[in-house]
Amino acid sequence: MTENTSPSTNPGQEICPASDLARRVQEATGVNAMECYQCGKCSAGCPLLEVTDLMPHDLWRLIQLGAEDRIKNSKHLWLCISCETCSTRCPNQLPLPAVLDFFRQEIIKDGQTPTEENVLHFHNAFLDTVKKKGRLSEVGMVQKYKLASGEYFKDMKLGMSMFFKGKIKLFSQSTAAKNEIRDIFKEAGK
């Protein structure tokens, strides 16, 4: 008698074998990308619709297919700001932003250049001030960002308006135990 490999009679059997990439994503994040059945509900609500190159359901499909380069070379990876509309509406509750964090962190770890470099310049500028003071210095962050991005005069009007309204402080507050903050960054390898 031949072995019956029908998925319905063998619950442990995979219906569709996962790509190596899908396995790697599952190991790192606990999320099984093979559960996506391409209904597209995620993409229908994505606020990046008009400006992005890949939609959320494309990203799930590319993980299933193992097309790592297309994901890592996408603008979407850096334009997504984790609004969580996609994950909240997903019938399988698949958390795309958490999975994108995994790809973003790999790119950073491998020293690759992100497709949207200024977005990473922003995150680095933000976290540099936190590492130093324990709290965000809005002025320090903007200075660091402008140096890294070369966008010296962008948003000057908005910044100055906010400064004159007393919303932007030149001197920011710090956490007292700065050594504890440095340790947290060190533990995370940052």
Rule CB under 8 A: which residues touch another protein? 47-48, 50-51, 79, 81-85, 87-88, 93, 95, 101, 104-105, 108, 116, 118-119, 121-124, 126-127, 130, 134-136, 138, 142, 145, 149, 154-155, 157-158, 161-162, 165-169, 172-173, 175-177, 180-181, 183-185, 187-190
Residue among 15 and 158 whose Cβ is closer to another protein: 158
- Least distance between another protein and beta carbon 175 (Å): 5
- What is the rounded distance in angstroms from the CA atom of residue 187 to the CA atom of residue 177? 16
Going by C-alpha positions, the residue among 98, 105, 117, 132 that lies closest to residue 30 is 98
Q: For residue 46, how many other CB atoms are within 10 A of its CB?
A: 20
CA–CA separation, 180 vs 182, rounded Å?
Answer: 5
Query: Which is nearer to another protein, 10 or 179 (by Cβ)?
Result: 179
Residues 60, 138: Cα–Cα separation, whole Å: 35
The nearer residue to another protein, 27 or 50, going by C-beta atoms, is: 50
Rounded Cα distance between 103 and 82, Å, is 13
Least distance from another protein to the Cβ atom of residue 70, Å: 20
Residue 66 or 101 having the CB closest to another protein:
101
Six token digits for residue 145: 């960002």
33 in Cβ contact with 82 (< 8 Å): no
Would you say 38 or 161 has its CB closer to another protein? 161
- Minimum Å gap between C-beta 139 and another protein is 9
